[in-house]
């Protein structure tokens, strides 16, 4: 007996431990003994097979009482083995509360999931392996704790902590009208060696210049100061900051940049008066070569016709000169199109009184 | 009459809505998020599909409007390594890593709703799945950008041009 006990203690699950566990469940042990003897009678041909990892095979091993003569045990199977209780799935009702079986994320337990799932590469001319002892089912993340009723229960409990979106801001245009500045930040969630991501400190600030209080000179100066960060098509200024180590610092720096740009663009420096025609963003007809040439030509025409001296202001205010001015501005500022060119042609014809 | 006066207090309680003792309301104004763009990356498409169902249902239950659910195509990163530790250059082994994506875009959230939804969705993020959340916050123009400050400052003679 002592030698037997000593041998068992060296094995994983010792006989002494079995007995101490059996104390609260004396009934279960006797039942297990009965099932073992019954299994032993039926399971004698199964001795030749290698030991499988499933719990159900435990009942296939021979019981403590030898059946006919001495019975040999294969490998290091302990003499007294606890047989597994029937799986919980047999006692589950169809309308049970599933969220109490899997309340949180847990590994797949074949005895707790009443579904006949098979997973894995199928045996030759066979089917994929069953769920008992199936490592593939345990490896893959399961969503058994997030069934639709469970999600609805969670959301019902969380609904108290949510607040309503203001109903007045139901479209993007209204949001932009009341809240013109957009700040974009990115959060990263992943599992790895460290939970921090250096890209998380980048802050992008976007604002439409039409929402800022800028006059004509200030807007042009701001666009020149900002350079590539301004998009002409959408009239959006984008400032991306990541030079500070923290996101809040980057946000503060972005707002500081916007403030400085705004106030600097309202200032007029002394050297800004030296702005030449090459620096201009758009074509201005007043005091340009085109205006000078047009007025000189018209004055010459008038003196050749011997009309009384007409002043420059009268010429500028006349319809033909205004048409000519508009067509030249359209040609220079916008690209050359068929309509622009034909408009220019008509205005020149009217200016010089040419009938085609 | 006295009986009626004593009972009216308890009747008043049942008519009022029950306030959750865990909820605390503060006075500071909420920050508003115009858009919340969640990008989920994973190696298994089935896991991502299940997660998409969960995230969309959670958003619907919490009353958040889902703008669209986009599924960008997967990217495969492949590399070829030597099979042996030493020599045998002609025998190589090839590995590949497949990354599937799913992009969820939500519109018009307050900071409390966003915090609740994101915490719920991130706590139930499966193993081996990564998430990137892009928040677009909308703000008013701050006070110091309403008007240029030079109007309020006293007139100072500029003697020298700043270089």
pLDDT tens-digit readout, A88-132: 888 888 888 999 999 999 999 999 999 999 999 998 999 999 998
Contact (CB, 8 A) for B70 and B127: no
A143/B54 touch (CB, cutoff 8 Å), yes or no: yes
User: For residues A271 and B158, is the Cβ–Cβ distance under 8 A?
Assistant: no
Q: How far apart are CA A327 and CA A329, in angstroms?
A: 5
- Please indicate whether, in this complex, the C-beta atoms of A158 and B127 are within 8 angstroms of each other: no
Does the residue B38 lie in any domain? yes
Interchain pair A151, B140: CB under 8 A: no
CA angle A258–A222–A267, rounded 5-degree value: 90
* Predicted confidence pLDDT, tens digits, chain B (163 residues): 455 444 444 444 444 455 778 888 888 888 899 999 999 999 999 999 999 999 999 999 999 999 889 999 999 999 999 999 999 999 999 999 999 999 999 999 999 999 999 999 999 999 888 888 988 888 888 888 888 877 777 666 544 444 4
Contacts of A140 (CB under 8 A, 6+ apart): A108, A119, B44, B46, B47
Provide the pLDDT for residue B18.
Answer: 59
pLDDT digit string (tens) for A277-288?
A: 777 777 777 777
Cα separation of A108 and A54, whole Å?
A: 15
Chain A residues closer than 8 Å to B116 by CB: 158, 161-162
**Alpha-carbon Rg of chain A, whole angstroms?**
44
Tell me if B124 is assigned to some domain.
yes
B149 located within any domain: no
Residue B79 lies in a domain: yes
Distance from CA of B133 to the nearest CA of A (A): 5
**Contact across the interface for B138 and A179, Cβ inside 8 Å:** yes
- Tell me the pLDDT tens digit for each residue of A192-209: 888 899 999 999 999 998
Cross-chain residue pair A262–B122, CB shorter than 8 Å: no
Q: Is-contact B137 A181, C-beta < 8 A?
A: no
Specify the pairing of strand A236-241 against strand A230-231. antiparallel
Please check whether residue A79 is in contact with residue A36, taking contact to mean a CB–CB distance below 8 angstroms. Answer: no
- For the cut 90, the answer to whether the pLDDT of residue A239 exceeds it is yes
User: What pLDDT does A85 receive?
Assistant: 82
For B117-131, how does the pLDDT look when each residue is reduced to its tens digit (9 = 90+)? 999 999 999 988 888
What distance separates the 2 farthest-apart alpha carbons in chain B? 103
pLDDT (tens digit per residue) in A150-181: 999 999 999 989 998 888 888 888 888 899 99
- Neighbouring-strand partners of residue B80: B94
Can you tell me the distance from the alpha carbon of A169 to that of A43, in angstroms, rounded to the nearest whole number?
74
Chain B segment 29-58 residues within 8 A of A by beta carbon are 30, 32, 34, 44, 46-47, 50-51, 54, 57-58
Beta bridge partners, B78, equal B96
Residue B15 confidence (pLDDT)? 47
Counted across chains A and B, CB pairs separated by less than 8 A come out at: 148
B50·A218 Cβ contact <8 A: no
Q: Is B126 on the interface with A (CB under 8 A)?
A: yes
Within a domain: B104? yes
- Strand pairing of B65-70 and B32-42? unpaired
Spacing of C-alpha B28 from chain mean position: 20
Report CB contact under 8 Å: B108, A191.
Answer: no
Tell me the three state secondary structure of residue A78: coil
B127 and A139 Cβ atoms separated by less than 8 Å: no
Domain hosting B125: range is 32-131
CA-derived radius of gyration, chain B: 29
Partner A contacted by B148 (CB < 8 A): yes
Residue A279 burial (CB count, 10 A) = 10
Q: Between A299 and B74, whose confidence is greater?
A: B74
Q: Is the CB of residue B47 less than 8 Å from the CB of residue B126?
A: yes
Please report which residue ranges of chain A form alpha helices under DSSP H. Answer: 2-10, 15-22, 26-43, 135-139, 148-158, 172-178, 216-226, 247-266, 289-304, 312-317, 319-333, 338-351
Residue count of chain A, please give it. 356
Q: Which residues of B touch A270 (CB under 8 A)?
A: 158, 161
**Residue A255 confidence (pLDDT):** 93
Please provide residue A145's backbone torsions phi and psi, each rounded to the nearest 5 degrees.
-85, -5
Kindly report the pTM of this predicted structure. 0.71
Check which CATH number belongs to the domain holding B86 and give it: 3.30.70.600
Q: How far A45 CA sits from the closest chain B CA (Å)?
A: 42
Which of B55, B108, B147, B156 is the best residue to mutate to test the A interface, defined by the most A CB atoms within 10 Å of its own CB?
B108
Q: With respect to residue B163, please indicate whether it lies within any of the assigned structural domains.
A: no
**DSSP state for residue A52 in the 8-state scheme:** P
Which phi and psi (to 5°) does residue A185 adopt?
A: -130, 155
Q: Which string of DSSP letters, residue by residue, matches A171-193?
A: SHHHHHHH--EEEEEEEEE--SS
Candidates A193, A109, A205, A104; CA nearest to A147 is A104
- Residue B153: inside a domain, yes or no? no
- Taken as a whole, chain B contains a residue count of 163
- Using the Cβ of B91 and the Cβ atoms of chain A, whether some distance falls under 8 Å is answered with no
Query: For position B5, what pLDDT does the model report?
Result: 46
Closest CA to B30 of B99, B101, B110: B110
Mutant choice from A172, A189, A268 vs B, greatest count of B C-beta within 10 A? A189
pLDDT-derived band at A15 (thresholds 50, 70, 90) equals very low
**Are A78 and A15 spatial neighbours (Cβ–Cβ below 8 Å)?**
yes
What's the total number of domains in chain B?
A: 1
Are B140 and A180 in contact by the 8 Å Cβ rule? The answer is yes
Beta bridge pairs of residue B96: B78
- The 3-state secondary structure of B58-118, one letter per residue: HHHHCCCEEEEEECCCCEEEEEEEECCCCCCCCCEEEEEEEEEEEEEEEEEEEHHHHHHHH
pLDDT band at A27 (very low <50, low <70, confident <90, very high): very low
Are A146 and B124 a contacting pair at CB < 8 A?
yes
Going by C-alpha positions, the residue among B66, B72, B67 that lies closest to residue B39 is: B72
Point out the residue among A169, A184, A207 whose CB comes nearest to the CB of B134: A184
Distance, in Å, from the CA atom of A165 to the CA atom of B34, rounded to the nearest integer, reads 10
Q: Which of B100, B98, B143, B75 is nearest to A181 (CA)?
A: B143
B101 touches chain A (CB under 8 A): no
Cβ distance of B148 and A262 shorter than 8 Å: yes
Asked whether A254 and A227 are in contact (CB, 8 A), the reply is: no
Candidates A145, A161, A260: best to mutate against B (most CBs of B within 10 A) is A161
Instruction: Check residue A32 and give its pLDDT.
Output: 42
DSSP states of A314-346? HHHHSHHHHHHHHHHHHHHHS---HHHHHHHHH
Q: Is residue B66 part of a domain?
A: yes
B146 and chain A: CB distance < 8 Å anywhere? yes
Q: Which of B132, B134, B161 to mutate to test the interface with A (most CBs of A within 10 A)?
A: B132
ipTM score above 0.90: no
Q: How many CB atoms are located within 10 Å of the residue A345 CB?
A: 12
C-alpha neighbours within 13 Å on the C-beta side of residue B10: 4
Quick check: A225 and A215 in contact, CB under 8 A?
A: no
Identify the closest residue of chain B to A158 by CA–CA distance: B116
């Amino acid at each position: 007996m002592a030698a037997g006990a000593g041998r068992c203690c060296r094995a994983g699950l010792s006989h002494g431990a079995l007995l101490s566990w059996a104390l609260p469940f004396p009934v279960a042990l006797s039942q297990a003994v009965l099932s073992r003897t019954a299994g032993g009678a039926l399971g004698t041909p199964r001795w030749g097979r290698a030991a499988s990892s499933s719990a159900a095979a435990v009942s296939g091993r021979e019981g403590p009482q030898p059946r006919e003569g001495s019975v040999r045990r294969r490998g290091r199977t302990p003499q007294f083995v606890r047989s597994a209780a029937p799986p919980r799935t047999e006692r589950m009702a169809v309308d049970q509360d599933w969220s109490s079986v899997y309340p949180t994320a847990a590994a797949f337990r074949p005895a707790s999931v009443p579904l006949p799932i098979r997973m894995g590469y199928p045996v030759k001319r066979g089917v994929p392996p069953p769920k008992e002892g199936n490592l593939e089912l345990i490896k893959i993340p399961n969503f058994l704790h997030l069934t639709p009723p469970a999600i609805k229960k969670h959301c019902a409990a969380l609904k108290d902590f949510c607040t309503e979106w203001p109903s007045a801001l139901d479209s993007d245009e209204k949001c932009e009208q009341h809240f013109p500045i957009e700040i974009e930040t990115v959060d990263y969630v992943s599992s790895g060696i460290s939970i921090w991501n250096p890209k998380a400190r980048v802050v992008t600030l976007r604002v439409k210049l039409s929402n800022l209080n800028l006059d004509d000179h200030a807007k042009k100066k701001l666009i020149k100061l900002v350079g590539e960060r301004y998009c002409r098509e959408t009239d959006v200024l984008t400032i991306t900051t990541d030079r500070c180590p923290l996101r809040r610092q980057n946000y503060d720096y972005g707002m500081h940049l916007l403030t400085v740009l705004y106030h600097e663009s309202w200032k007029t420096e002394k050297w800004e008066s030296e702005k030449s025609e090459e620096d201009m963003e758009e074509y201005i007809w007043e005091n340009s070569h085109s205006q000078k040439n047009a007025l000189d030509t018209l004055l010459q025409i008038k003196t050749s016709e011997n009309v009384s001296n007409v002043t420059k202001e009268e010429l500028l205010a006349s319809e033909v000169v205004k048409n000519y001015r508009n067509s030249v501005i359209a040609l220079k500022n916008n690209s050359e199109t068929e309509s622009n060119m034909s408009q220019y042609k008509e205005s020149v014809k009217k200016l010089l009184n040419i009938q085609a | 009459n006295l009986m009626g006066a004593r009972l009216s207090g308890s009747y008043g309680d049942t008519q009022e809505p029950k306030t959750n003792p865990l909820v605390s309301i503060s006075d500071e104004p909420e920050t508003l998020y115009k858009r919340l763009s969640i990008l989920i990356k994973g190696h298994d498409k089935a896991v991502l599909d299940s997660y998409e169902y969960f995230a969309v249902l959670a958003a619907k239950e919490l009353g958040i409007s889902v703008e669209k659910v986009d599924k960008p195509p997967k990217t495969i990163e492949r590399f070829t390594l030597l099979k042996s530790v030493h020599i045998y250059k002609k025998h190589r082994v090839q590995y590949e890593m497949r990354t599937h994506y799913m992009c969820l875009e939500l519109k018009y959230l307050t900071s409390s709703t966003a915090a609740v939804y994101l915490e719920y969705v991130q706590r139930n993020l499966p193993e081996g799945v990564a998430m990137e959340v892009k928040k677009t916050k909308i703000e008013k123009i701050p006070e110091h950008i309403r008007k240029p400050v030079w109007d309020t400052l006293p007139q100072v003679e500029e003697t020298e041009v700043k270089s």
